[in-house]
Amino acid sequence: MSEPREPLPIWFFVGVILLVYGGLVILGDATNLREIRLSHLHPGLWWGGGMVVFGALFTALGLWTHRQG
């Protein structure tokens, strides 16, 4: 089996990391026991949600550019 000529683009790795971390941030907010200011805003939910969306976009962009060669 031959090795691929070009590595996967960095955007793919950034996307996967944001996707996974976004999910964990949402989970953290949903199960949070820490006493924090502005907790009623649930910053982890919407911020983590944004990370998941951006992560998915970057992952797709990375895969797409890799397939384009």
Partner 1 sequence: MGTTQRLVELGVLDWAIVALYFVAIIGIGLYLKAFTKTGDDFFLAGRRNSSWVAGLAFLSANLGALEILGWTGGTMKYGMFVSHFYWVGAIPAMLFLGLYMMPFYYSSKIHSVPGYLKLRFDERTRLLNAFAFAIMTLLMSGINLYLMALVFNVLLGWDWHVSMWVSAAAIGCYITLGGLLSAIFTEIVQFFLIWAGLFLVSILGLVEIGGPAHLMDQLPATMTSLWATTGDPSQNAMGVTWLGLAMGLGFVLSFGYWTTDFLVVQRAFSSKDLRSARLTPITASFFKMALPFIVVVAGLVAYKLGMDPASGFHLPEDPQNPGKVWNDAALPLLIARYYPTGLVGLGITALLAGFMAGQAGNVSAFNTVWTYDIYRVIFRPKASDAHLLWVGRVTTVVGILLSVATAYVAMQFNTIMDYIQAIFSWVNAPLFATMLLGMFWKRTTSAGAFWGLLAGMLVSFAIFLGFRFGWISGDLARWLTFAENPSDMSRNLWQASWAWVVCFLVTIGISLVTPPKPDSELVGLVKGLTPAVDDGKVAWWGRPAFWAALSLAVLVALNVWFW
Tokens 């009623």 found at = 40
**Counting contacts by CB under 8 A, is residue 43 touching partner 1?**
yes
- Residue 6 binds partner 1, judged by CB under 8 A: yes
| Size of interface with partner 1, in residues (CB under 8 A) | 33
Contact yes or no for 21/59 (Cβ under 8 A): no
The neighbour count for residue 37, using CB atoms within 10 Å, is 6
Residues whose CB falls within 8 Å of the CB of residue 9, separated by 6 or more in sequence, listed in order: 62, 65, 66
Q: Which of 2, 3, 40, 68 is in the footprint of partner 1 by CB under 8 A?
A: 3
Smallest separation, CB 42 to partner 1 (Å): 8
- What is the binding site for partner 1 (CB under 8 A)? 3, 6-10, 13-14, 17-18, 20-21, 24-29, 31-34, 36-39, 41-44, 47-48, 51
